[in-house]
Structure 1
Amino acid sequence: MSSNHTSRWAAALKRSEGPAYMAIADAIAADIQSGQLTANQKLPTLRVLATALDLNFTTAARGYAEAQRRGLLAARPGVGTVVREQVRADPVRRPQASSLIDMTMNMPPEPRDAALIERFRDGLASLQRADPYDLLRYQEFGGSHEDRAAGVRWLAPRLPELVTQRVLVCPGVQGALLALFTILARAGDAIACEAVTYPGIKGIATHLGIKLIGLPIDDQGIDPEAFGALCAADPPKALYCNPTLLNPTCATMSLQRRQAIVDIARRHAVPIIEDDAYGFLPAQSPPPLAALAPELTFYITGFAKHLGAGLRIAYLCTPNVRYTARVQATLRTTSVMASPPMITLATRWIDDGTVVAATSAIREESRHRQDIARRVLKQAQYVAHPEAFHLWLSVPQPWNRIEFAAHLRSHGVGVVVSDTFTVSGGAPEAVRVCLGGASSREDCQHSLEIIEDAIEQHPTLASRVM
């Protein structure tokens, strides 16, 4: 094969604004279309290609792999990589730099399960058969007895002792959190939380004038000693925590850690706001704090991470009926009520098993995407969980988190920097990567390959070799 080919490819790499391996595949496609490459023609070995293009071996290999995926090349044992005899007429390309693969929103993956999709369609169709005025009227604030009872049935595996009098149907987890922060603290008061935590509460606290006190965390979440010291000195009005698959670090409190946190909160009479948004994702996880200390825990979970964010239905469990009435009145003020059509769907999908089926499918798809991450992110240091759909990736030197995220965005991948989640202390050099935002496993792998390529490269060289 003539060196003219690799010279043209090198020039194409310099002109390209996208990843180098995509530019290699584009250049091969152009040469095949122009007749510069012909059927069965042998291409350079990967090491020769990497040297000629001044790339690392991995990037060169991905270039050939992308060309094979498009149906341009074939690998023949004993021969090497050759041009296919019959090239696909319309090879499918992956998204380009101008088409962002959004890995910023922590949405669940959407399994392409035909039976599950049919369940969704049946549920949506059932709304057309309902009395429209039943869905258009004001309904009981916090949900009807039947809708609360459905929530109790869904939550039974996590909270077996729950009763309907302690459950309220809310318009999403964020609405429930707003109501609780409003009830438990006033402007100028303090609520404790993880030092790196779900950013939604930062907005709520700012809106209400509440101070957040970030507690040190480790791989099991909040440090009990730090929480105990805070409570001994000046107890906060409440403790907010995300004990299962903490967003963003994926930390999950062990049973021992949960018991330690509960003991401290009970000793100092500090109410707990337990955000269990991801609680049903792991096939096995410790019991909620609300099961260990029901008398002081406000428990919240919903369908955003277990089915889909568009339903906007969550369930809030209070310590007692007195608090149920207070929260109900606050919800009436802040949000009036959850959408009746969505509550109707939620109850139906709980009762017919759709919620459990959807959660199971999301869990399985998350496992596949975490497997892809393990295969692709060989140079990366990150924390994840096999059944979560996000990971917490450490940004290696000499990158910093801001430059790293900006570089990825310029190459078509959006991630979230740690500053978004940091309540106190310096923001760690890390980014959250959401695996569910990519519409397919192929897009997920493509994005992770771009991330891996960036990790392998010095920032000053990345624009040349990517």
Structure 2
Amino acid sequence: MAQAKADSDEALHWVGRLDPAAGPRYLQIVAQLEQAVTEGLLRPGDKLPPQRRLAEHFAVDLTTVTRAFGEARERGLIDAVTGRGSFISARQEQEGPPLDLSMTIPPAPKGLRLGELMQRGIAEILARSDADQLMNYHGGAGSLAERAAGAAWLAPLLGALPPDRIAVVPGAQTGLNALLSLLARPGEPILMEPLAYPGLIDAARQRRLAMVPVASDADGPLPDALDEAAGRHGARLFALTPTLQNPTCVTLPERRRQDLVAVARRRDITLIEDDPYSLLAGDAPAPLAALAPERTWHVATLSKVLTPGLRTAFVVMPEGADSTAFLAALRATALMPAPLMTALAAHWIRIGAAKDLLEGVRREAAERQLLAKEILPETMQGHPHALHVWQPLPAHWERSSLIERARVAGLGVMAADAFSTGGAAPDAIRIALGAIPERARLAEALGLLAGLIRGDARETDPIRLNQPDR
């Protein structure tokens, strides 16, 4: 007992006094946690004392400490492990700016604890699976159960699909790499949107493909421009994101999709439809894979709508496609998805947990879009359920200058250059809304960025995040 008390006292080395005049006591506790992490007194993985012990030390009631721990979890400072206690989050070790508006990830939905979902799901999987087999090599397109789960997940978009048209892959990037390897030889042209997903651009460059941007308007790529580019370059492959396009948030209207499909059929163009967001959007027209199933490879990842750590995506192959050739290209890129994560994804889909998580992400994304609309300049382009917004810059700003000013101020955003497939990039930035765990901090970051955008580009001393008083 004495040793346990000594250990508990040792774990309180970071704790200071509470000041009755310094505001809510629970926020003072959170501030002490933040300071201890910043100064290295607490490190990722350190276990915190029990809440009751802290309440005794601070001479406050237990609910005050419970509220402080809840706020600390919202800020990403601590993680709670059921039955083991609370620990300093490993997220504190991640590199990058203090407030990251550059990484497009789904925000953690309110009211759903991902850790608890994972614990229950994995326990249920292990209760009915052979752990040795689960951790072995798994070749091919995924088990029948996993491919059937993919078909069920995509049914709201594509209707009933036979599982043999679906391949389970370790993330959309892997699927895209394999597709470019299968469908184009080095040096061949690939038609793309003028601004496109950077991962697709990297994959095309790695394959030494000649990127040909297809002129676009506010509704997306122009059918006549697609026709002209295909004829001039002899291109037979077109990769695009028709719904909540990254980075512009444009969703192609139904008529535009039909017109593009008509050109693709006339020119015998194969389509790669990178579609992470249709289920998140909820209001998108039918995917290209539903309009032209005979020539469309449809890539749908769970990373952008549930959580990146699942590393699971579904590739829907065209009707009559040679699955053997695609699987050979896939094996050359990555042998298999992580079996445990794929099994968890399929399990969540079967029991409805994936749908609940998707709806939670949609609700949280909607709240964050409202924040962005209230705070950012009115030229912002977004969507009620998108994970990012596109912000054209006023004439007095050049994008690289703004990016540098934002970096100095502690903000990370992405300039249009990262998305350009050819030609001059516009003076605009993409602002991601999901990486900052709590809305209050997101509002702080958006407010600071909005101030920079509206301010004078000649100013040389931007306000910094968490800058001490002088």
TM over 0.5: yes
Distance 1:369 1:462 in 2: 30
Per-residue CA deviations over 1:328-380 (Å, capped at 9, x if unaligned) read 12112221111111111111011011111111111110110011111112x35
> Residues of 1 paired with 2:325 and 2:293: CA distance?
17
- 3-state SS, counterpart of residue 300 of structure 2: strand
Per-residue CA deviation, residues 424-443 of structure 1 (Å, 9 max, x unaligned), is 11010001000001111111
Equivalence for 2:458: 460
How many residue pairs match? The answer is 385
Residue by residue over 1:276-322, the C-alpha shift from the partner in whole angstroms, topping out at 9 and shown as x without a partner, is 01111112210000000000000010101110111110110111344
Report the counterpart of residue 208 of structure 1 in structure 2: 207
Shift in CA distance, 292/284, structure 1 to aligned 2, threshold 3 Å: same
- Quote the RMSD (CA, aligned, Å): 2.7
Structure 2 gap ranges (5+)? 1-18, 29-63, 78-95, 465-470
In structure 2, give the amino acid aligned to 1:108.
P
Per-residue deviation, 1:99 = 5.8
How far does the alpha carbon of each residue in 1:42-91 deviate from its partner, in whole angstroms, 9 at most, with x for none? xxxxxxxxxxxxxxxxxxxxxxxx99x989xxxxxxxxxxxxxxxx9xx9
Secondary structure (helix, strand or coil) at the match of 1:381 reads: coil
Classify 1:147/1:70 alpha carbon distance in 2 versus 1 (closer, same or farther; 3 Å): closer
Q: Mapping of 1:271-420 within 5 angstroms? A: 271-377=270-376, 379-420=377-418
> What's the secondary structure of 1:383's corresponding residue?
coil
SS of the residue aligned with 2:330?
helix
How do 1:86-235 and structure 2 match up within 5 A? 100-114=98-112, 118-129=116-127, 130-235=129-234
Single out whichever of 432-441 and 125-134 deviates more from structure 2: 125-134
Is the counterpart of residue 244 in structure 1 residue 243 in structure 2?
yes
**Which residue pairs with 2:423 in the alignment?**
425
Q: Tell me if the contact between 1:196 and 1:248 (Cα under 8 Å) persists in the aligned partners.
A: yes
Q: 2-side partners of 1:309 and 1:464: how far apart?
A: 33
Aligned mates of 2:328, 2:393 — CA distance in 1: 45
Alpha-carbon contact 2:151-2:163 (below 8 Å) kept: yes
Instruction: Check whether the contact 1:349–1:355 (CA below 8 A) recurs between aligned residues.
Output: yes
Q: Is the 8 A contact 2:214 2:221 kept in 1?
A: yes
Deviations 1:218-239 (A, max 9, x none): 2221111110111233331300
Which 4+ runs in 1 deviate beyond 4 A? 91-95
Check the 8 A contact 1:235/1:270 in 2, yes or no.
Answer: no
- Bigger mean CA deviation after superposition, 125-134 or 196-205: 125-134
Instruction: Give the equivalent residue in structure 2 for 1:441.
Output: 439
Distance 1:173-1:251 versus aligned 2 partners, 3 A rule:
same
The superposition leaves residues 360-417 of structure 1 with CA deviations (integer Å, 9 ceiling, x where unpaired) of 111110110011111112x352111111010001121322111111111111210001
Distance in 2 of aligned mates of 1:234 and 1:374: 41
Structure 2 counterparts to residues 74-89 of structure 1, below 5 A: none
1:145 CA displacement:
1.5
CA distance in 2, matches of 1:269, 1:393: 36
- Identity percentage over the alignment? 34
SS of the residue aligned with 1:175?
helix
Comparing 169-178 and 276-285, the one that deviates more: 276-285
Per-residue CA deviation, residues 171-230 of structure 1 (Å, 9 max, x unaligned), is: 110111011101110011011010101011111111111111111222221111110111
Q: How many Å separate the matches in 2 of 1:200 and 1:392?
A: 18
C-alpha displacement of 1:326: 1.2
**Cα distance 1:115–1:405, how it changes in 2: closer, same or farther (>3 A)?**
closer
Aligned AA (1:452): A
One-letter amino acid of the structure 2 residue matched with residue 247 of structure 1: N
Amino acid at match of 1:382: M
Q: Is residue 152–residue 167 contact of structure 1 (8 Å, CA) maintained in 2? A: yes
* Residues 166 and 431 of structure 1: CA distance in aligned 2, closer, same or farther (over 3 Å): same
Distance 1:307 1:224 in 2: 33
Q: Distance in 2 between matches of 1:240 and 1:412?
A: 35
Indicate the residue corresponding to 1:74 in structure 2: none
Amino acid in structure 2 at the alignment position of 1:443: R
Separation of aligned partners in 1, 2:244 and 2:115: 27
In 2, the alpha carbon distance for the partners of 1:99 and 1:324 equals 43
C-alpha contact 2:275 2:300 (8 A) present in aligned 1: yes
* Structure 2 residue matching 1:112: 3-state secondary structure: coil
Distance in 1, matches of 2:243 and 2:401, equals 30
Mapped partners of 2:194, 2:97: distance in 1: 34
Q: Does the aligned pair in 1 maintain the 2:277–2:305 contact within 8 Å?
A: yes
Q: Alpha carbons of 1:172 and 1:450: their partners in 2 closer, same or farther (altered >3 Å)?
A: same
SS in 2 for 1:460: coil
Distance 1:455 1:305 in 2: 27
